[in-house]
């Protein structure tokens, strides 16, 4: 036997409102993926094309994209992530075969970059968040949102 005082619903609504205030969902059924991206990218900053979506703040301090491209090499996930990270000294790499994703994180030219990859026989799906390293305290939490929300059909 259980009971509810209504407090749980209130907390759940508050958490939902908070989540909606910091991230926005992007769904592209034609390309077969969805992702959550930082709410600082307003609709007027989004650019959609045949491969996906991208956005950047006017001062280029933060940017993101999510896209699908052909798997021209036919590489599997681990091989693709290894190839991408090979030219990135000090890159952090994680391949999770069980959940079918790989991540590459690195810093370059004053920016912290976080990539999430999903690789299929036909396509490579990539979501990336990039921000100036002096903004890591403000934007690094979005890496988790990007990783946990990037879904592919």
Per-residue pLDDT reduced to its tens digit, 94-104:
999 999 999 99
Portion of the chain with pLDDT greater than 70, in percent:
86
- Pairing outcome for strands 92-96 and 47-49: unpaired
The values of phi and psi at residue 27, to 5°, are -125, 130
Residue 120, SS3 per DSSP: coil
Q: Which residue has the tokens 């991540």?
A: 103
pTM of the model: 0.87
Per-residue pLDDT reduced to its tens digit, 63-108:
999 999 999 999 999 999 999 999 998 999 999 999 999 999 999 9
CA dist 85 and 38 (Å) reads 25
Check residue 22 and give its pLDDT: 86
Closest C-alpha to 41, from 127, 122, 117: 127
Q: Mean of the pLDDT values across residues 10-38?
A: 80
CA dist 150 and 83 (Å) reads 21
CA dist 70 and 51 (Å) reads 10
Q: Extract the tokens encoding 32.
A: 């077969």
């Amino acid at each position: 036997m259980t009971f509810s005082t209504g407090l749980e619903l209130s907390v759940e609504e508050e958490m939902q409102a908070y989540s909606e205030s910091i991230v926005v969902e992007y769904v592209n059924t034609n390309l077969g993926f969805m992702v959550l991206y930082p709410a600082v990218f307003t609709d007027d900053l989004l650019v959609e094309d045949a491969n996906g979506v991208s956005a950047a703040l006017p001062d280029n301090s933060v940017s993101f994209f999510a896209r699908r491209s052909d798997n021209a090499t036919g590489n599997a996930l681990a091989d693709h992530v290894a190839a991408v990270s090979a030219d990135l000294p000090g890159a952090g790499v994680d391949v999770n075969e069980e959940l079918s994703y790989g991540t590459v994180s690195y810093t370059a030219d004053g920016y912290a970059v976080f990539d999430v990859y999903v690789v299929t026989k036909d396509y490579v799906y990539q979501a990336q968040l990039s921000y100036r390293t002096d903004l890591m305290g403000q934007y690094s939490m979005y890496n988790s949102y990007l990783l946990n929300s990037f879904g592919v059909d």
